[in-house]
Amino acid sequence: MRLNLLNNKIYLTFLSGNVHTVIWGYKSNEVALAAGADLVALKDELQSSRIKRWHAVGMLKHVLLCLYLPLELKKDAINFLLSIMYAKLSQMPNDENEDYSTYMPTLCSALQAIQVVIMYATDVILRKNAFAAFKELLADCPTSLRFDILRALIKDGDSSSMIAVLLDCVREEVRLESSKSPPASKVSKAESEGSQGTIFWSSSALELVELVLRPPGGGPPSLPEHSDAVLSALNLYRFILIKESTGKSNNSGVLSRDSLVKAHSEWLLPLRTLVTRMMAEAQCDTDELFL
């Protein structure tokens, strides 16, 4: 009981705003001792509780976004984030059906803060570690919440390169999920129909493709500004097509006539028309140079 009270006290100290003390203490035992903080107990507490871990991540984002803090502190913040993400597997909850939607704003803003480090940090190792932390935090979320977060980040993202990275994360989710599924020949009709509810192996993944290839504002995506995102979306669509056709399944609905007609008329044809026009304009500009 005393240990639990001590751990809660340390955890509350962290949430009270003493993030800098925790980060410095993580790097230096002398700082931790001077502050009276038991960092080992704090890490154990955060590793064993998903909710507390998310609260801690929500506090760390302020360090990552602050322009006036030294680079070393941000490095230590990312390293501390990685250390608490390596949760004890035996204590990970089996809670895929729990409603964690209230934590989505906190997690989205934290992931956006890590994105800033990935895109703009000048230190290569820091960018690499930030990307590792980004993936770990995503993996820490239950499947349905992870999809909602990815959709929000893609929809609100203004970096084509970062959106491409997010779509690559979705493709990896699809790959991992399909590798765990039995071959179509060994799946009964009832099991096949039930598998359609799987979040990434359903039309949900195609929804993310549509966000890029047919933006909410209408019309084809803007090129060349969004070239990275468009290529990644096309690769994801192609990946799902190949997976479904070679596996002789249609769990995602991607092979249905309606889906194929929609993809052709609303995604691919407008994009092809745009690219053809851009190529013609580029050719005209080239011809004028030689006149």
For the chain (291 residues), the mean pLDDT of every run of 10, in chain order, is 43 50 53 53 83 89 85 88 72 64 94 95 94 94 92 94 96 85 53 48 84 88 93 96 84 89 94 91 67 54
Distance CA 86, CA 146 (A): 18
pLDDT for residue 59? 85
Specify the fold of 1-93+100-141.
Transcription Elongation Factor S-II; Chain A (1.20.930)
Tokens standing for 80? 């501390």
| pTM of the model as a whole | 0.82
- Residue ranges, CATH 1.20.930, the chain: 1-93+100-141
Evaluate whether 213 touches 271 at the Cβ level (below 8 Å).
yes
pLDDT for residue 154? 96
Distance CA 27, CA 79 (A): 9
pLDDT for residue 229? 97
List the one residue out of 108, 9, 122, 129 whose CA is nearest residue 57. 108
Question: Whole-angstrom distance between the N-terminal and C-terminal Cα of the chain?
Answer: 86
Evaluate whether 89 touches 46 at the Cβ level (below 8 Å).
no
pLDDT for residue 159? 95
Give the 3-state secondary structure of residue 27. helix
Q: Radius of gyration of the chain from Cα atoms? A: 23
Tokens standing for 141? 């979320």
The pair phi, psi for residue 80, each rounded to 5°, is -65, -40
